[in-house]
Structure 1
């Protein structure tokens, strides 16, 4: 007898949409919303509609190209790892050994 329930085989896999993986989908969506707001601001400011369209389409194509490039280059977690690596110091400087001696005494 076959089961009427379907098993979800995609558990714990990151989402992917047309080659974009994980957080890059959010980055692309946020960028497109920002471009929509930019278009509204330019249009309300009285800029020619064709100029607005050229600027927005140029920026949108650059955004899409850059987002796909980041997705392909860094993958699912690579960009987060790169950002985290920048926050680490290049070296640590200690003027005294008191910290380490204190840690050793507490471990005993």
Structure 2
């Protein structure tokens, strides 16, 4: 009889060095941005030591910010927070016509 390996990682979030889900993408985007800044500064003739010092500082800053977001909000918490900002706090109605129409529809049913 053949034995098959069971994949126990189904439906688990992608994780790399403690970063889960979209935070891996945020880290990559931040580091690519740092690389772009380094290339632009070096191309403009800024000293190599200054460029490297700024690159190290920005890379550490990106790593700290992303890891704190990951620890604070978890896998989906940040997306939920952004989605919560899109929900209106209330609906303003300037006249009663809407409610009159709803009342008529309820009478028909």
Provide TM-score, normalisation by structure 2. 0.87
Partner of 2:39: 40
Partner of 1:95: 94
Gaps of 5+ in 2: none
Gaps of 5+ in 1: none
Tell me the SS of whatever aligns to 1:76. Answer: coil
Distance in 1 between the 2:7 and 2:21 partners? 18
Distance in 1 between the 2:40 and 2:91 partners? 48
Q: Does 1:31 align with 2:30?
A: yes
Q: How many angstroms does 1:37 deviate by? A: 1.0
Distance in 2 between the 1:55 and 1:21 partners? 27
Q: How many angstroms does 1:2 deviate by? A: 4.5
Q: After the TM superposition, which segments of 4 or more aligned residues of structure 1 sit over 3 Å from their partners?
A: 96-104
Distance in 2 between the 1:97 and 1:19 partners? 54
Aligned residues: 107
Q: How many angstroms does 1:91 deviate by? A: 1.6
Higher Cα radius of gyration? 2
Provide TM-score, normalisation by structure 1. 0.88
Distance in 1 between the 2:100 and 2:34 partners? 56
- Cα-Cα RMSD: 1.8
Partner of 1:22: 21
Tell me the SS of whatever aligns to 2:69. Answer: helix
Distance in 1 between the 2:99 and 2:9 partners? 47
